[in-house]
Amino acid sequence: MVAELEPRGVTTFARERVFVLPLTAAIMLVLGLLLAGIYSATDEHGLHRVFQRRSLSGWAVENGQVSDVQYNISSSGPFPGWYYGVPMIIGTALMICVVYWSLRRIAAAPRPPSADLFDLDRSLRSLATTFVMAASSSALAFQIAGLGIITGIVLRSSHTDPVPTIDSSLPPGTIPVEPGHSLALTLILVSILVGIAAVVLLVKAVTISTNLQSLARTISNPNHEPAR
């Protein structure tokens, strides 16, 4: 029998930077949902899932000139307010709990009976830990990308006003309202980049999963020869 006295925790089998990415993604997602919830408004059903802004709603034409310009509160949706945000925050919290539980299981699993397999066992646990972090980071990044794109589209359409015109036979042109319009475009672009990063992390998780299966078969092979 071989006893190992080295303590093992959730962060034992990977570098610290591996844990920073999913933690940062979870914090960004929750903060984004909270911010969207704060700026959300209720729709006709009393649900917080629209964004409201004071915008140009109409005008009159007198003697060939634009007059009586009118503003009103316009609503745009679907906006990720409290109606959508609260379930997502709860889901994110549950994901963090599942990830922590998975890391605990990886760290607490018993070592193989032979000390010759300890190096392979450590490699297996490191791969498993990295897989959990990559998969959870990918899932969170997809959520952030989706949230950002939807929010950006709503904000972009909301921060666009018609241009008053004296020719009522033609549809009025539109003009972007700054800085909201530019911020919305920036949010959409950043979200697309986050989505690409999510795909990269997903591919990495699949690759690690393949390596995990191969290494697990090596450890469980009774004809395995100790590494020299």
More confident residue, 27 or 226: 27
More confident residue, 141 or 225: 141
Q: Is the pTM of this model over 0.85?
A: no
Residue 227 above 80 pLDDT?
A: no
- Say what the pLDDT of residue 222 is: 47
Mean residue pLDDT across the chain: 85
Residue 151 confidence class, pLDDT cut points 50, 70, 90: very high
**Ramachandran quadrant class, 112 (left: phi over 0; alpha: psi -120 to 50; beta: rest):** beta
More confident residue, 36 or 117: 36
Residue 210 confidence class, pLDDT cut points 50, 70, 90: confident
- Say what the pLDDT of residue 1 is: 45
Q: Which percentage of the chain shows pLDDT scores above 90?
A: 48
**What's the Cα-to-Cα distance from 78 to each of 14, 58, 88, 152, 157, rounded to whole Å?**
40, 24, 15, 11, 12
Q: Which long-range contacts (CB under 8 A, 24 or more apart) does 10-13 make?
A: 10/100, 10/103, 10/104, 10/106, 10/107, 11/103, 12/107, 12/125, 13/106, 13/107, 13/122, 13/125, 13/126, 13/128, 13/129
CA distance 150 to 191: 9
- Say what the pLDDT of residue 16 is: 77
Residue 163 above 90 pLDDT?
A: no
- Say what the pLDDT of residue 228 is: 40
